[in-house]
Amino acid sequence: MSWLDRVRERLPFGNKRESPDNLWIRCPRCQEMVFRSEYEKNLSVCPNCDHHGRIGADARLKQILDDSFEILPAPKVTEDPLRFKDSKRYTDRLKAARASNPHPDAFTAAYGTIEGHKAVVGVQDFTFMGGSMGMAVGDAFCSAAQRALIERCGFVCVTAAGGARMQEGILSLMQMPRATVMTRRLKEAGLPYIVVLADPTTGGVTASYAMLGDVHIAEPGALIGFAGQRVIQETIREQLPEGFQRAEYLHKHGMVDMVTHRKDLRATLGQLLDYLSPAKAA
């Protein structure tokens, strides 16, 4: 034992107090460190720069719906229909995604009320394989829309996706017309279909149900588009304007109806449902 170790044993100091690794979170925009508890209390919005962070399905449902709601069962679909393998097997990717997620796939729906108005809310979770749209997502979307038809209430869809799930090939692209048909049925029934565009909403999701709502609400700073900015620039061989494909730019150019802060989202949805839902029989 060295002399330093012997001195340390005699000093009246306790062991160094350890702090949890997840006590702080770094804002991806302003790079400031924020207490995680403060960040989550602020609805996962940075208190310094107002950056809207990405959140999971459960947190989103709690923020939008009133206190009590019912999680709708996830539909059963054929998994790995193409027996797809790239650097990993598709089945292994699904297992890894499910190990870190409370839900079996990227789309989770619930039935409850928003500001007292009945509604079905479907949420796409970007943390599950980039929120990619496969057969499970397509079935979950259609089942949620069908529940809205049964309950005669509005359907709110929160999108956050990188597009179609390549591991399911053409079967993933077939979910685009399926979801489109369900939005048409809601319209024919006179029921509101409201889309909340979260960061990011891209690819085949943007090309289908994300842009078919009666009202489109975007979260501040959300990336919304079909192809990526680099692909577009290389195709048209022109420099794109600053803020291209961001929520504020799309609102300015008429692609979305409003940009709404997360703290105001529930109240805004409640007002829209009150205005758009079918009138009750006298």
Give a three-class secondary structure readout of 74-116.
CCCCCCCCCCCECCCEHHHHHHHHHHCCCCCCCEEEEEEEECC
pLDDT for res 22:
79
Q: Is the dihedral of CA 263, 267, 270, 272 positive or negative?
A: negative
- Tokens read off for 192: 């509101």
- Tens-binned pLDDT, residue by residue, of the chain (282 aa): 565 565 455 555 445 454 556 799 999 999 999 999 999 999 999 999 999 999 999 999 999 999 999 999 999 999 999 999 999 999 999 999 999 999 999 999 999 999 999 999 999 999 999 999 999 999 999 999 999 999 999 999 999 999 999 999 999 999 999 999 999 999 999 999 999 999 999 999 999 999 999 999 999 999 999 998 889 999 999 989 988 999 999 999 999 999 999 999 999 999 999 999 987 643
β-bridge mates for residue 195, sequence order: 157, 216
CB atoms within 10 A of CB 106: 27
- Tokens read off for 156: 């709110």
- Tokens read off for 89: 């097997």
pLDDT for res 281:
42
Cα separation values, 178 from 13, 141, 269, Å: 67, 9, 25
pLDDT for res 5:
62
Residue with tokens 């397509």: 138
The reply to whether omega before 75 is within 30° of 0 (cis) is: no
Half-sphere exposure of 204 (CA within 13 A, CB side): 23
pLDDT for res 184:
98
φ/ψ (deg, to 5) at 108:
-125, 135
Q: Which pTM was predicted?
A: 0.89
Q: Pairing relation of β-strands 33-35 and 70-71?
A: unpaired
In terms of Cβ atoms closer than 10 Å to its own Cβ (0-12, 13-18, 19+), residue 63 is middle
Distance CA 161, CA 152 (A): 28
Residue with tokens 């805004």: 268
CA 234 to chain centre: 29
pLDDT for res 228:
86
Residue pair 197/224 in contact (Cβ under 8 Å)? The answer is yes
Find the angle CA(6)-CA(7)-CA(8) to the nearest 5 degrees: 90
Q: Coil, helix or strand for 28?
A: coil
pLDDT for res 200:
97
